[in-house]
Amino acid sequence: MWSSREAASSGPRSPGGPPPLGSRSSWWTRSAATLAPASEALFGEGALLRINLLALARFGSFAAELEEVTGRRAGLRREGTLAVAYDPGDYAALMRLTAFRRSAGLDTEELDSRACRKLESFLTPDVHGGVLFAGDWSVDNRRYAAVLREAAAAAGVRMVRGRVTEVLVRDGRARGVAVADGETIGSAQVVVAAGCWSGEVDGLPAELRDVVRPVKGQLLRLRHPDAMPPVLAHTIRATVRGADVYLVPRADGEVIVGATSEERGPDRTVTAGAVHDLLHDAMSVLPVTSELILAETCAGLRPGTPDNGPVVGGFGAGSGHSGLLLATGHYRNGILMSPVTADAIVACMTGQPAAAEWAPFTPERFVSGAQAR
Residues within the interface to ligand FAD (CB under 6 A): 1-2, 18-19, 21, 26-28, 30-34, 163-164, 193-197, 201, 217, 219, 258-259, 300-303, 328, 330-336
> In this complex, which beta carbon is closest to ligand FAD, that of residue 128 or of residue 268?
268
**Helices of type H across the chain:** 46-70, 88-103, 113-119, 141-154, 272-285, 338-349
Write down the least CB distance from residue 79 to ligand FAD, Å: 15
Report d(CA 214, CA 217) in Å as an integer: 9
**DSSP conformation letters of 266-297:** T-----HHHHHHHHHHHHHH-GGGGGSEEEEE
Write down the least CB distance from residue 165 to ligand FAD, Å: 7
> In this complex, which beta carbon is closest to ligand FAD, that of residue 94 or of residue 192?
192
Beta-bridge partners for 81: 133, 235
- Phi and psi dihedrals of 73, rounded to 5? -80, 145
CA Rg value for the chain: 21
> In this complex, which beta carbon is closest to ligand FAD, that of residue 55 or of residue 231?
55
Residue number of the CB atom closest to ligand FAD: 334
Write down the least CB distance from residue 199 to ligand FAD, Å: 10
> In this complex, which beta carbon is closest to ligand FAD, that of residue 98 or of residue 341?
341
Local structure of residue 364 (DSSP, 8 states): G
Write down the least CB distance from residue 107 to ligand FAD, Å: 19
Write down the least CB distance from residue 101 to ligand FAD, Å: 17
Local structure of residue 358 (DSSP, 8 states): G
Beta-bridge partners for 311: 328
> In this complex, which beta carbon is closest to ligand FAD, that of residue 91 or of residue 197?
197
* Cα of 17 vs its chain's centroid, Å: 19
> In this complex, which beta carbon is closest to ligand FAD, that of residue 130 or of residue 199?
199
Q: Identify whether the C-beta of residue 233 lies closer than 8 Å to the C-beta of residue 247.
A: no
Write down the least CB distance from residue 72 to ligand FAD, Å: 20
Q: Identify whether the C-beta of residue 366 lies closer than 8 Å to the C-beta of residue 207.
A: yes
* Cα of 65 vs its chain's centroid, Å: 21
> In this complex, which beta carbon is closest to ligand FAD, that of residue 94 or of residue 301?
301
> In this complex, which beta carbon is closest to ligand FAD, that of residue 289 or of residue 333?
333
At 196 the three-state DSSP class reads: helix
Write down the least CB distance from residue 138 to ligand FAD, Å: 7
At 137 the three-state DSSP class reads: strand
Write down the least CB distance from residue 179 to ligand FAD, Å: 8
Half-sphere exposure in the Cβ direction for 371 (13 Å, CA):
7
